[in-house]
Amino acid sequence: MSVLVLVEHTEGIIKKKNFEAVQYASQIAKQTGTTATAVVLGSASAAEMESLGEYGAEKVLHIADPRLDELHARAYAKALIAAAEKEGSTVIITLNDINGRAVAPRVAVKLKAGLVAGALSYPDTAEGFLIKKTVFSGKAFAFVNVLSDVKVITLMPNSFQINKGEGKATVEKLDVNFDEKDFGIKVKQVNKVTGEVSLADAELVVSGGRGMKGPENWGLIEDLAKELGAATACSRPVADSHWRPHHEHVGQTGGTIRPNLYIAAGISGAIQHLAGVNGSKIIVVINKDPEAPFFKAANYGVIGDAMEVLPKLTAAVKKYKA
Ligand code: FAD
């Protein structure tokens, strides 16, 4: 009956956002009088998996098939369903990230489960299973009561503070019979993220839009990011134009981030962009158009040319650090 949570890893390393999902599952398990079980797919070390105990997982089910090192949504869904059957789980959690959004609906359909996509709260179980979630790309909230027996939830990353505790999860192997067709998508090439700070885990992010004019000006974004120890991000047209790699694209169709500080230079603030960043604690907008919609979402705004403002900001940070 345990609460199940899918834990992703990159080359065996479990990233911070997963700890939040495990903690979320563990809290729901406590609420519902059960325990949390993490599901890890592919090649991960025992030590990494055991460490999930520090965030509340009592057990890890490890489905070690190396083909699962890359996302295969169909195989991932099959693995989660097999784990749910083994554990008798009625609550299944993934992150609301690119992988989770691909896997969770498949699991929900197969198990005839209600799906809450983009959960922001723990369930209120007083009268059912009431959860707050994002709607309209983060422009509004909805409260949904999930009445199906099985419930699938995708958790919005950075919704809760992560508290590391003590504990060691026990790791158990689970074998699942996959078909060739579960791996129907062939991964031809994996572009590794080379930035110094991983965007998903970054507390500080400097981001650029089409107002940066071209890739030749990205040094201004990178200089400020370097001084701050921040990750870099961009709007979708920037990634579509190949000025920046796609993994830096944030928004409705890209990554969702909730850093402490998001500095946006030359980005208009379209709703689809805001969907990925409006959970940031402090938003600083640099835009030469005083009517740019992003200013409405900003805590601080600089009306000016990013080409002039960014070097001044970088110099100010440098001076402050000296
Ligand atoms: P623009 O809209 O061209 O804005 C450039 C801004 O830079 C302007 O505000 C301008 O005033 C300012 N500027 C120009 N020069 C300077 C200067 N020298 N100094 C300072 N400011 C300057 N977009 C995303 O970002 N992420 C998504 O995930 C996403 N998903 C989408 C999904 C769908 C289904 C659709 C339809 C669209 C999506 N979009 C997404 C696109 C989105 O609607 C916008 O078109 C996009 O965000 C605009 O990018 P931008 O702000 O960089 O460019």
pLDDT digits (tens, 9 = 90+) for 45-100: 999 999 999 999 999 999 999 999 999 999 999 999 999 999 999 999 999 988 99
- pLDDT value of residue 192: 66
Residue ranges around ligand 1 (CB below 6 Å): 209-211, 235-238, 249, 251-254, 266-268, 270, 272-273, 276, 286-289, 292, 305-307
pLDDT digits (tens, 9 = 90+) for 48-57: 999 999 999 9
Q: Which two tokens stand for residue 253?
A: 């169709």
Task: Read off the pTM.
Answer: 0.74
Pocket test of ligand 1: the residue of 253, 291, 312 to mutate, having most ligand atoms within 8 Å of its CB, is: 253
Q: What does the pLDDT average to over 155-161?
A: 87
297 torsion bin: left (phi>0), alpha (psi -120 to 50), beta (else): alpha
Alpha carbon distance 318, 322 (integer Å) = 6
Identify the residue whose C-alpha is closest to ligand 1 atom 15: 211
Q: What does the pLDDT average to over 12-24?
A: 93
Determine the atom of ligand 1 nearest the C-alpha atom of 237. Answer: 49
- Residues contacting residue 36 through CB under 8 Å, at least 6 positions apart: 2, 3, 4, 5, 22, 25, 26, 28, 29, 56, 57, 58
Distance 222 CA to ligand 1 centre (A): 19
Distance 210 CA to ligand 1 centre (A): 6
pLDDT digits (tens, 9 = 90+) for 218-274: 999 999 999 999 999 999 999 999 999 999 999 988 888 889 999 999 999 999 999
Alpha carbon distance 28, 79 (integer Å) = 22
Confidence of residue 16 (pLDDT cuts 50, 70, 90): confident
- Total H helices, total E strands in the chain: 9, 14
Q: Which two tokens stand for residue 40?
A: 């890890």
Distance 13 CA to ligand 1 centre (A): 33
pLDDT digits (tens, 9 = 90+) for 197-215: 778 778 899 999 999 999 9
- pLDDT value of residue 197: 73
The yes-or-no verdict on residue 307 having pLDDT over 90 is yes
The yes-or-no verdict on residue 285 having pLDDT over 70 is yes
